[in-house]
Structure 1
């Protein structure tokens, strides 16, 4: 049996004896050093003159889950340099253990790896299964002792923020965009932190960032020679939100276009019933709003009443405990912004014809009906069938004998997403609905044309045409939401022109932020920033 399989350093240690403690189940290994001499830690000169011996106890990696303890017969030496202040020193074997350590170096490395990968609590449970009993605090303490290797300064740097706690405290992540690896983690979103980092790491040529003022200022002051590239994703997101606000202001015209587009009949479809025993629901009852919808309408009227009295939107939001974006949407809509109904589907919709026939034949037992449709290949559950036949059992007219058709009323968000699709990629109904909306509201058509022009700049990589687009979007006939968007583009036009022309973006940086979120949540939000930084950087 070769000792190098079991010893931390077989070149410097030799086994004297191996014993197993029957009560504790531990393996005791007695070793001694095979080196002829040792270096003085103070002067660095070698010495072979032994002063004395002493026993040093070390815990080593377990053998097949069994704890191993090393008893090292270490030596003390006289220093042969008369000028050296260290007269007596102990021999040191860095590959075996650090000075004053109670664990072997390879065991400490294993503990650090487990702490970095699993954290404190999870790592402690894993280590116990592997035969290493360590408390969570020990794992975290060893993790904090991990040295982070120095990273080279990237040529293309990605900068983005991440949340310690969303809406309250943020940090900054720096990513090498060429190699797609994390460079560093900053504890805040302050521009001065980014300035200091860039000044300490000269050589950055391109900075891909989002459009936050803190990063614009930090990149400009810290690396004035670098080309700044705005994040394309957030540009498209801001454009879509501006277009959605335009559509929300004309929600009434959009609803009228949706009603023209809708192919659903106004009156409910009645299942044939020769006995006419099913009670019809008056139209007024089918159109009654839900309690939540009625409460929202009342809140809308209260908000508008205060707004017409001259109260600011911020004060209204505070009074009603609403977000400012909700108050702004109410004020800008011009009328009550109805929500698009959610389509409802059921596994029992595909077999409703069969259910209706069996219901008229007198089989009104839900369990039996569920069994029969499952034999016919349907996957509907007992509760799906019960909900589908509940209106028949109560003598109420069902609204449909086929799967419920989705209404064509699109919300502003749903309609604004169509701007990113070519007409060839839209369905016939979507193209028809879009044309109807443009016919009902020319202002939406104009906003759509401006937004499409901005998207085509990116598709054609025509950064030189950006000034012309800003001039067109800043015209008085342009909807105010797009004018505000163009004003923001003008403030950061050079970075946006670079985003149009250059291939760099913050997509990879956003992916690193998602990985950071996973690690942060694994730590239950209780770890300090230094521990999070070590675990994040060493894991990459």
Structure 2
């Protein structure tokens, strides 16, 4: 290998000698060979700082984590041609606070660029610099729709089918929850045989299981047993360690419920207006105190959870549960509706048939969901306007009606999503990959470093 060295004869020049560089072999002011540098760059792109430094130490080429990060930051951006089909989605730099935008070439399945925010102006400026974009795959976020319309008016916008199905599933679950009373099977008709007479339950202001009520009942039974055995009242007071006045009051009470007096028994509470609803929901099978509190809170109950919890524990826990199997939850019924009928197990199919026979509104919801699924799987987007008209005309399914009305705001993109073969699946995969890269660079995941790793790794 011959390398030329040049010498400057000018006395005022600070450089006296210059060495010729060989591309791919040497680098000016280089402290390591190009092969070692490329190996360290590969380790840094794969593992980032600390993990990469531990691997280089095991390989016998120890460098610090900061050196690996500097090597990654010094890399130039890869040259990428203007894509024809672009996928757009958001990613979280700090979840709930800072979000960015990732752009992916859907045809080559490679990331193109990362934007520091998810504003419409930023996306519009990026697309305006690349007039060759013909198709934009996105979700139905308004800032992406506005940015794509302003930056690439010539491009066809395609709404992602997975997001459409996910939004339909959320609307369907709300509809099922609204008709949750229909999920319990109808009670069996009573037998003709006369039922045995049962003793009427005594209405006690303090239910069974209350600690004060149980203690009072125990004292009442003990005192009356001693008196019936022939002991005097003063003798009972000495044996039980009570005052004579207490023994007299217990002896005059024929039942322990006569002793249940005090402010707790007569003081009205704000929960009284909602107790009939809580009793009804308890009989329907809802035994979760938190869920009951959330339901009456939506109806205007102004107090906290603890009052409802105490009422459930003291009063409702002692009431008998409805006899029969536990009804399916709204989420389970929604899963049955969203699943293809041929893929449902026989038991689930029978239960779904019973639920739909008991509720015509849920039967209509099932028909709407299955017709939308047929459009989505067979790419029959031209049927969407008729489906929207039918779903909007359904009065008893407000969540489905709102979903259909929301589709009209982005109708062209939704029809294209139900017609074109393009989708944002590859973009979602890169969003998950960005999450993994962020975890590797915890504490050092600046936007510039993250962008380098996403584009070059």
Verify the 8 A CA contact 1:438 1:444 in the aligned structure 2. Answer: yes
For residues 135 and 423 of structure 1, do their structure 2 counterparts lie closer, same or farther at Cα, with a shift above 3 Å needed?
closer
For residues 255 and 460 of structure 1, do their structure 2 counterparts lie closer, same or farther at Cα, with a shift above 3 Å needed?
same
Write out per-residue CA displacement over residues 337-383 of structure 1, whole angstroms, 9 at most, x where no aligned residue.
xxxxxxxxxxxxxxxxxxxxxxxxxxxxxxxxxxxxxxxxxxxxxxx
Verify the 8 A CA contact 1:246 1:479 in the aligned structure 2. Answer: yes
Write out per-residue CA displacement over residues 34-79 of structure 1, whole angstroms, 9 at most, x where no aligned residue.
33x44xxxxxxxxxxxxxxxxxxxxxxxxxxxxxxxxxxxxx5237
More helix by share: 2
Q: What is the CA distance between 1:86 and its match in structure 2?
A: 8.5
Q: What is the CA distance between 1:533 and its match in structure 2?
A: 0.9
Verify the 8 A CA contact 2:137 2:159 in the aligned structure 1. Answer: yes
Of 88, 91, 95, which aligns to 1:159? Answer: 88
1:415 aligns with 2:345: no
Distance in 2, Cα, partners of 1:479 & 1:302? 21
Verify the 8 A CA contact 1:173 1:184 in the aligned structure 2. Answer: yes
Distance in 1, Cα, partners of 2:146 & 2:365? 31
Verify the 8 A CA contact 1:253 1:441 in the aligned structure 2. Answer: yes
1:506 aligns with 2:424: yes
For residues 433 and 123 of structure 1, do their structure 2 counterparts lie closer, same or farther at Cα, with a shift above 3 Å needed?
same
- Aligned residue in 1 for 2:290: 296
- Aligned residue in 2 for 1:272: none
For residues 301 and 192 of structure 1, do their structure 2 counterparts lie closer, same or farther at Cα, with a shift above 3 Å needed?
closer
Q: What is the CA distance between 1:212 and its match in structure 2?
A: 0.5
Following superposition, which runs of at least 4 residues in structure 1 exceed 6 angstroms of deviation? 84-87
Verify the 8 A CA contact 2:89 2:428 in the aligned structure 1. Answer: yes
Q: Given the two structures, how large is their TM-score scaled by the length of structure 2? A: 0.69
Tell me, what secondary structure is at the counterpart of 1:255? coil
Tell me, what secondary structure is at the counterpart of 2:149? helix
Q: What is the CA distance between 1:526 and its match in structure 2?
A: 3.0
For residues 456 and 297 of structure 1, do their structure 2 counterparts lie closer, same or farther at Cα, with a shift above 3 Å needed?
closer
- Aligned residue in 1 for 2:110: 181
Tell me, what secondary structure is at the counterpart of 2:54? helix
- Aligned residue in 2 for 1:90: 18
- Aligned residue in 1 for 2:451: 533
Verify the 8 A CA contact 1:92 1:99 in the aligned structure 2. Answer: no
Write out per-residue CA displacement over residues 223-262 of structure 1, whole angstroms, 9 at most, x where no aligned residue.
01100110100100111111111111111211236x88xx
1:217 aligns with 2:146: yes
- Aligned residue in 1 for 2:248: none
Distance in 1, Cα, partners of 2:100 & 2:396? 37
For residues 416 and 298 of structure 1, do their structure 2 counterparts lie closer, same or farther at Cα, with a shift above 3 Å needed?
closer
Verify the 8 A CA contact 1:446 1:478 in the aligned structure 2. Answer: no
Report matched runs for 1:57-76 at 5 Å.
76=6
For residues 301 and 180 of structure 1, do their structure 2 counterparts lie closer, same or farther at Cα, with a shift above 3 Å needed?
closer
For residues 522 and 89 of structure 1, do their structure 2 counterparts lie closer, same or farther at Cα, with a shift above 3 Å needed?
same
For residues 430 and 523 of structure 1, do their structure 2 counterparts lie closer, same or farther at Cα, with a shift above 3 Å needed?
same
Verify the 8 A CA contact 1:447 1:478 in the aligned structure 2. Answer: no
- Aligned residue in 1 for 2:7: 77
For residues 112 and 433 of structure 1, do their structure 2 counterparts lie closer, same or farther at Cα, with a shift above 3 Å needed?
same
- Aligned residue in 2 for 1:64: none
1:193 aligns with 2:122: yes
CA RMSD of aligned residues (A): 3.0
1:112 aligns with 2:41: yes
For residues 90 and 194 of structure 1, do their structure 2 counterparts lie closer, same or farther at Cα, with a shift above 3 Å needed?
same
Q: What is the CA distance between 1:125 and its match in structure 2?
A: 0.9
Q: What is the CA distance between 1:525 and its match in structure 2?
A: 4.8
Tell me, what secondary structure is at the counterpart of 2:96? coil
- Aligned residue in 2 for 1:524: 442
1:207 aligns with 2:125: no
With 113-122 and 212-221 compared, the bigger mean Cα shift is at: 113-122
More strand by share: 1
Distance in 2, Cα, partners of 1:113 & 1:428? 53
Distance in 2, Cα, partners of 1:408 & 1:299? 21
Tell me, what secondary structure is at the counterpart of 2:165? helix
Q: Given the two structures, how large is their TM-score scaled by the length of structure 1? A: 0.59
| Count of residues in correspondence between the two structures | 345
For residues 301 and 442 of structure 1, do their structure 2 counterparts lie closer, same or farther at Cα, with a shift above 3 Å needed?
closer
Distance in 1, Cα, partners of 2:32 & 2:58? 19
Distance in 1, Cα, partners of 2:449 & 2:47? 12
For residues 298 and 427 of structure 1, do their structure 2 counterparts lie closer, same or farther at Cα, with a shift above 3 Å needed?
closer
For residues 421 and 527 of structure 1, do their structure 2 counterparts lie closer, same or farther at Cα, with a shift above 3 Å needed?
closer
Write out per-residue CA displacement over residues 168-190 of structure 1, whole angstroms, 9 at most, x where no aligned residue.
22111111111111111112111
Tell me, what secondary structure is at the counterpart of 1:501? coil
Verify the 8 A CA contact 1:454 1:469 in the aligned structure 2. Answer: yes
For residues 478 and 89 of structure 1, do their structure 2 counterparts lie closer, same or farther at Cα, with a shift above 3 Å needed?
farther
Write out per-residue CA displacement over residues 417-475 of structure 1, whole angstroms, 9 at most, x where no aligned residue.
22333333333332322222122221111222222222222233221121111111111
Report matched runs for 1:116-515 at 5 Å.
116-256=45-185, 294-296=288-290, 299-300=293-294, 303-304=297-298, 307-308=299-300, 409-515=327-433
Unaligned residue ranges in structure 2 (runs of 5+): 189-208, 210-281, 306-311, 313-323
For residues 132 and 407 of structure 1, do their structure 2 counterparts lie closer, same or farther at Cα, with a shift above 3 Å needed?
farther
Write out per-residue CA displacement over residues 141-189 of structure 1, whole angstroms, 9 at most, x where no aligned residue.
1111111211111111111111123222211111111111111111211
